[in-house]
A and B are shown apart, each in its own frame.
Chain A
């Protein structure tokens, strides 16, 4: 089991030698990830892990990927998507363009869910979905629009609970245990790496989704990232967070109004 001071050493190495800054990630989770990786890759001691991280440039990629958590699903929290569908998207309908940013999109399930919502609300043609993540591999997967067949039953149920009226399987074709989502959905997506720790705002958006990413950050980094979002939102634009993430510890709170029981806020000030 790795100890706190060893984590500091490792994070410092990562920052100094490879430019990855994990120093403001939530420690308890990070510690579990590092211990898990030490077990998976059978490092007998901290010294050996440290040596590998310092000296093996190809291992860094794996290390960073395994440190972060990529778990995601389609129409995750169906009632959240129902609120987007019924209360949020209609207020954007009058706009000539709709710009949406998925920050920390992982393998893209969230982005495809949004594309489907936009199609069903007849807004897709004038929308553009920016999908960013720290990890280029997950973006590569997302861009292909190919997902495992196994969870589709669950996703289909989620979709229906979110107010979907179509046959969910009409959005994809199944092939050998996988499904490929319709090419037209990908046409409005722009994938790019973006590191929320160090990169800046790159556009102004009508809706930013950053779900289940802030839980991995400490309060100071959360505040930095929330300010980045604030800078990237036009007036009356929306910010959507994960089911257990909040603005209650943030300086943004006074200028954002939560619009329902779901974790969606509108910029009012």
Chain B
């Protein structure tokens, strides 16, 4: 892919996914170049068990520091953050995280829309949002918010997604800058 200046100005990359997205992350994370010049935030739908299986599984796949977010954690470049189960993940103006256990949105907590919208408020044009596989309509409103704030929107190519519904919804309902398969995403994120 042509070198894109998009990622140059990126301070935060957010990846949202539902059913079929963990497989994508397991492929994507090991391919990321270090040090990561921005913060990477993962919002993945999962059962509301507070167990640490997912964070451990993902941490095995990368040398980049990876942690599940605690309330008020600072957002630092070069770090991967995982939204905890059963909370919405929000971003404060001072670039810290905060959590909220209010009603589910799109049957989901964490909801991708909630986090994308909140991050768009704070990061504006320096935010990139990627939406992966899933059987939900979550993410579309969030990608709209990112675009409205001047950020960059990306979705997984639906035909490469285990469940194409979620990326397909986004393509129909939001302005999308890039539609990429996983290999192309690697290049995009690594700015190659």
Contact = CB atoms under 8 A, between A and B. Distances in A.
A77 B98 CA distance: 20
Interface in B114-167: 114, 118, 121
Interface in B8-62: 50
A222 interface: yes
Given A28-B90, A246-B71, A248-B70, A215 B114 contact: no
B72 interface: yes
A32 B69 contact: no
B92 interface: yes
Nearest to B90: A28
Nearest to A68: B102
Nearest to A154: B48
Contacts of B90: 26, 28-29, 32
B100 A32 contact: yes
A236 to B, nearest CB: 25
Contact size class for A? 20 to 34
Contact of B71 (A31, A79, A245): A245
B101 interface: yes
Interface in A16-55: 26-29, 31-33
Interface of B: 50, 69-72, 84, 86-88, 90-93, 98-103, 114, 118, 121
11 contacts: A26-B98, A28-B121, A29-B102, A31-B121, A32-B90, A32-B102, A32-B118, A71-B101, A79-B50, A243-B86, A244-B70
